[in-house]
Amino acid sequence: MGRTIVWTGVTALFFSLFEAAILSNLAFLPAVPDLVLLLVVYVSFKNNSMTGATSGFITGLFLDFLSASPVGLNAFTKSLTGFIAGKFSGSFNLDKILIPALMGLAATLFKALVTFVLSLFFGSQILVYGIFDATLWLEVLVNMVCAPMVFALLGLFPNFFCDNPRNDE
Partner 1 sequence: MQKRNLPFKFHLESFMLAIYLLFSGILLAFSSGGFIVNFRDIGFSIMSGAQRGVYSVSAFCAGTVTAISELSELKQKYSDLQRKLEDYELLQRSNADIRLENEHLRQLLGFTEQLTVKNIPAEIIGRDPNNLYSAITLNRGARHGIKKNMPVISFQDGNTGLVGKVVQVGRSTCLVMPVYDYQCFVSSRLETTRYDGLINGQGSDELPLVMKYVKKRAREEIKIGDRIMTSGENRNYPGNIPVGLVSGIRGLDYETSLELDVVPVIDFSRLEDVFVLDMESQSGDRE
**Min separation Cβ 7 and partner 1, Å:** 17
Instruction: By CB under 8 A, tell whether 149 contacts partner 1.
Output: no
Question: Rounded CA gap, 137 and 72, in Å?
Answer: 24
* 104 near partner 1, judged by CB under 8 A: no
Choose one: 73-81, 94-102, 147-155, 158-166; the region binding partner 1 (CB under 8 A): 73-81
Residue 95 vs residues 19, 41, 98, 102, 120: alpha-carbon distances, Å? 26, 15, 7, 11, 37
What residue ranges bind partner 1 (CB under 8 A)?
A: 13, 16-25, 27, 31-32, 34, 48-50, 53-54, 56-57, 60-76, 79-80, 83, 86, 115, 118, 122-123, 125-129, 135, 138-139
